[in-house]
């Protein structure tokens, strides 16, 4: 499990941690039932106050992505369907807002679709380079 903190990032540290772990879980890097690095261990590794790590883990537990087993640590949840649904809903909502904003400031539908297509092209490009 890799978590890197960017001190120039405007997101609070606990949020950077939850976002990073959530991403690794939803993209399959961290598998169901896999154990997360312990609070103390991660705190040492990335040089962050344990309270902040604990806050991040508690948040992930609340959103149903990980679960805690008293005294044994935190583990990736088995059933992530709820998490996937919420994530999709979030993304859809943001996309709708973007469309609203685009219409409002006179950005054409073609331009919007073009931006989307280019974003996909760029991602595919990067995938190919990795291989």
Partner DNA sequence: GTGGTCTAGACCACT
Contacts of 68 (CB under 8 A, 6+ apart): 57, 61, 74, 75
Residue 92 within binding range of a copy of itself, rule CB under 8 A: yes
For the CB of residue 37, give the shortest distance to a copy of itself in the complex, in Å: 18
Place of tokens 């508690």: 58
57: partner contacted, choices a copy of itself, DNA, none (Cβ within 5-8 A by kind): DNA
82: partner contacted, choices a copy of itself, DNA, none (Cβ within 5-8 A by kind): none
- Please, what's the b/e burial string for 12-49 (b: 16 or more CB within 10 A of its CB; e: otherwise)? ebbebbbebbbebbeeeebeeeeebbebeebbeebebe
**One character per residue 47-66, x = contact with DNA (rule: CB under 7 A):** -xxxxx-xx-xx--x-----
**Contact predicate 37/1, CB 8 Å:** yes
Q: Quick one: 75 or 107, whose CB is closer to DNA?
A: 75
Number of residues in contact with DNA under rule CB under 7 A: 25
**One character per residue 57-76, x = contact with a copy of itself (rule: CB under 8 A):** -----x----x-xxxx--x-
Contacting positions for a copy of itself (CB under 8 A): 7-8, 12, 23, 26-27, 62, 67, 69-72, 75, 84, 87-88, 91-92, 94-96, 98-107, 109, 111-113, 115-116, 119-120, 122-123
């Amino acid at each position: 499990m890799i978590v890197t903190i960017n001190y120039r990032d405007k997101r609070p540290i606990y949020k950077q941690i939850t976002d990073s772990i959530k991403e690794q879980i939803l993209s399959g890097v961290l598998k169901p039932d896999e154990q997360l690095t312990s609070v103390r261990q991660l705190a040492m590794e990335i040089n962050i106050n344990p309270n902040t790590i604990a806050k991040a883990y508690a948040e992930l537990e609340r959103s149903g992505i990980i679960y805690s087993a008293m005294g044994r640590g935190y583990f990736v949840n088995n059933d992530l369907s709820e998490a996937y649904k919420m994530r999709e809903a979030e993304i859809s909502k943001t996309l709708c807002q973007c469309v609203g904003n685009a219409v409002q400031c006179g950005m054409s539908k073609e331009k919007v679709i073009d931006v989307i297509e280019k974003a996909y092209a760029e991602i595919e490009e990067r995938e190919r380079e990795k291989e």
